[in-house]
Structure 1
Amino acid sequence: MTAVAVSDRARTGRRAALLSAVIVVQTLCAIFFLGDVIGDLVGDGQFEGPHKWVEIVAGLAMVGGVAFLIFELRRVMNRVAILENATRAAQGEMADVIEAFFDEWNLTASERDVALLMLKGIENDEIARIRGTASGTVRAQGAAVFRKAGVDGRPQLFSIFMEELLAGE
């Protein structure tokens, strides 16, 4: 998952939590105002004076606000679901794109492993340790990947996939 996607998802999650908290507070306020109006009506049965009308309007505004916030929270939660689906799709599509290039370049299984670890930003010595091979073997397999891909090094290899990702359809 990219840093932008993580940041957008975190921001959306915070927004959902804030909306939930505001909904709870506003619901409690609406219950208070409407309860006070009902209590006054039961007590004396009259709508005299501006105070009761202000409470009625405030209570109804709070109920309207709660309805709007619930709608907005649903919209935010749908956005989170869309972002998560898009992220999963992008990850799956990128894996397919990588495999297609590896197939086109006729990489061996070892070269595929090394190329994938290079794309993840792992250094040769670490790749050698992960794969249980010598650093020289990893360098040779990396050179074979670069030759078959027609690039001079990691930055150009990486740029092939970035261009494909950014090109879209």
Structure 2
Amino acid sequence: MRPGDADERRAAILAWMIVLQALCALFFIGDVLADLRAGNDDTGTHLWLEGSVALVLCIGLGVLMYELRQLLMRMERVTTTLRAARGEMAEVIEGFFADWGLTPAERDVALMILKGLDNDSIATVRGRAAGTVRAQSAAIYAKAGVDGRTQFLSLFMEELLADPD
């Protein structure tokens, strides 16, 4: 399940509740108006009850619309923040690669390592021999000052999770 799925489902449920509640409110308002036009004498309590229900439904509609608006704004903020984080992480990665002096081929391999591909998969994607990818990986680790893939990945995880201050 993606992180935003629960919020999207919640927004859809709120939207359907708004539609259903609006239809109910319209029914009760229409019924009150029809009873007023008919002029029935015995409808005082009945009209008051239906009018109260319609009022409560309209207030509920307002609350639901407010909640839906807040949820949609929150979803937009989260999406914007994630996009910014991805962009900043890309800049951080490029900064590390530039500091280490990685060649274009090493940059490609390093990105694929960060994406979780193993050496054989990287070799297949790049159309190179697995030995070439292992040699490039070793050069990347040496330039980064780490002993292997796990430490290499942890450099970026630490940067991602680091306190901005």
TM-score, structure 1 as length reference? 0.92
**Bigger mean CA deviation after superposition, 41-50 or 9-18:** 41-50
Q: Which residue does 2:64 correspond to in 1?
A: 69
Q: Name 2:151's counterpart in structure 1.
A: 156
3-state DSSP of counterpart to 1:21: helix
Displacement of 1:130 after TM fit? 1.1
Q: CA contact under 8 A between 1:30 and 1:59: conserved in structure 2?
A: yes
Q: Percent of counterpart pairs with the same letter?
A: 51
Aligned residues of 1:47 and 1:53 also touching (Cα < 8 A): no
2:103 to 93, 108, 122: 108
Could you tell me which amino acid in structure 2 is paired with residue 155 of structure 1? T
Gaps in structure 2 of 5+ consecutive residues? none
Higher mean C-alpha displacement, 69-78 vs 46-55: 46-55
- 2 CA distance for matches of 1:99 and 1:47? 79
The answer to whether residue 136 in structure 2 is matched with residue 146 in structure 1 is: no
1:168 offset after TM fit, Å?
Answer: 3.6
Is the Cα contact below 8 Å between 1:149 and 1:157 reproduced in 2? Answer: yes
Alignment-mate amino acid for residue 144 of structure 1:
A
Match of 2:76 in 1: 81
Q: Where does residue 44 of structure 2 map in the other structure?
A: 49
CA RMSD of aligned residues (A): 1.5
Instruction: Find the counterpart in structure 1 of residue 112 from structure 2.
Output: 117
Report runs of 4+ in structure 1 exceeding 6 Å deviation.
Answer: none
Q: Give the corresponding residue for 2:14.
A: 19
Specify which of 124, 129, 132 is matched with residue 124 of structure 2. Answer: 129
Q: Which moved more, 1:64-73 or 1:20-29?
A: 64-73
- Equivalent AA in structure 1 for residue 67 of structure 2: E
Q: Which has the higher contact order (CA 8 A, sep 6+)?
A: 1
Taking the aligned partners of 1:147 and 1:17, their CA distance within structure 2 comes to: 51
Distance 2:40 2:140 in 1: 86
| SS of 1:71 mapped into structure 2 | helix
How many aligned residue pairs are there? 164
Task: Name the aligned partner's letter for residue 99 of structure 2.
Answer: E
TM-score, length-scaled by structure 2: 0.94
Contiguous gaps of at least 5 residues in structure 1: none
Following superposition, the deviation at residue 49 of structure 1 comes to: 3.3
